[in-house]
Structure 1
């Protein structure tokens, strides 16, 4: 799998290194490059992660790349809850807004079926935690919100390859809760002096359900 990663900040670089260590192929492109060049590069990716601030993610979808999804999965790890001034209306989420924008860009007779399937994921994992897959001996959980089963399947495959434990959090509407959760985690981090080194494990009771146990990467 070739994983396209837009953005060369801490999140983008950290994710690219984790993808490389997992034996996948990262395609790291700068978020501020020429929009057409970005679109051309990302045509080679099976899945794309927008590791950029929320306003840049909006511009990505409004640009040429917004019409070139071809039904592929677009992962939104943004956290607009930290944007000042606020960029998302109360009661909504950045994930929902990006999914709606992707749908709008895909509509029309000139480009049917060319949209992106947006999934909210990785926003609860700080850049400094990407190289880890356990917290206190337990697998780091990765909640995923998506309306499309194919997008959910794609993100689960990537998360498992990186050593995380993905969990179906529901449709893209749930993105508002995932973004609020990140705000809580960062508040705890600040209060406890953790410097962003915080992650979560969501326990799933065993029994009739099959509980997936992730295999950590070497090192």
Structure 2
């Protein structure tokens, strides 16, 4: 299984740090040339591989960590997203009317034709997501929502490999609203920093 993070701002770097902490390889890409963020990637660790957007979207699992308004541009990188799992780690300040009243993740899913979309890793502030998820014998929770149960299970397994405790919230029209941040409509679980003890 290959992984990529599209976007190398605060959330993208926090995700890259999670991969580096666990010795897992992940490609990172932006709309800029890889040379422009090569040294930043190297500072995180040797498993963080700078690539072009066109190269990065060849990965099996792709984290969207760009500004919300940039996701349609990323979606154009492939004509068909069949076989890909896309993790929507974005939030937006745009009003609900702009997405026809849909949760932001359901709106994003329309742009990535054929992809298995999972909403996740978006409810934590970047500074919290960046920390080691092992806390006092427990693991920091990440919430996942998807209309594809198998995709959600796969990303749950990845979250565990990254040291987090995944909690499945159901479909995008159910759990998606709980971790939805759009305009002034904040899901009940946004910015909740919870720890799970086994």
Comparing 175-184 and 6-15, the one that deviates more: 175-184
Output the CA distance in 2 between the equivalents of 1:89 and 1:42. Answer: 25
The runs of 5 or more residues in structure 2 that have no matched partner are 35-51, 181-185
TM-score (norm 2): 0.75
Output the CA distance in 1 between the equivalents of 2:80 and 2:23. Answer: 26
Decide whether the 8 Å contact of 2:5 with 2:12 is kept in 1. Answer: yes
Deviations 1:102-151 (A, max 9, x none): 2xx3xxxxxxxxx2111100011222223321456542111110111231
- Out of 100, 104, 108, the position equivalent to 2:110 is 100
Output the CA distance in 2 between the equivalents of 1:32 and 1:128. Answer: 24
Decide whether the 8 Å contact of 1:5 with 1:50 is kept in 2. Answer: yes
Residue aligning to 1:181: 187
Output the CA distance in 1 between the equivalents of 2:118 and 2:20. Answer: 22
Larger radius of gyration: 1
Residue aligning to 1:59: 73
SS of the residue aligned with 1:142?
strand
Alpha carbons of 1:132 and 1:10: their partners in 2 closer, same or farther (altered >3 Å)?
same
Residue aligning to 2:49: none
Residue 88 of structure 1 and its aligned partner are, at CA, apart by 4.1
Residue aligning to 2:57: 42
Decide whether the 8 Å contact of 2:140 with 2:195 is kept in 1. Answer: yes
> In proportion to residue count, which structure has more strand?
2
SS of the residue aligned with 1:74?
strand
Decide whether the 8 Å contact of 2:57 with 2:77 is kept in 1. Answer: no
Residue aligning to 1:125: 124
Residue 89 of structure 1 and its aligned partner are, at CA, apart by 4.2
Alpha carbons of 1:57 and 1:50: their partners in 2 closer, same or farther (altered >3 Å)?
same
> In proportion to residue count, which structure has more helix?
1
Residue 40 of structure 1 and its aligned partner are, at CA, apart by 3.2
- Out of 71, 96, 110, the position equivalent to 2:83 is 71
Deviations 1:181-209 (A, max 9, x none): 37853xxxxxxxxxxxx612368xxxxxx
Deviations 1:6-41 (A, max 9, x none): 01101111211211221211100014569xx51333
Deviations 1:62-99 (A, max 9, x none): x132x34232210001111xx25667447421101011
Decide whether the 8 Å contact of 1:54 with 1:94 is kept in 2. Answer: no
RMSD: 2.7
Alpha carbons of 1:184 and 1:167: their partners in 2 closer, same or farther (altered >3 Å)?
closer
Output the CA distance in 1 between the equivalents of 2:111 and 2:87. Answer: 14
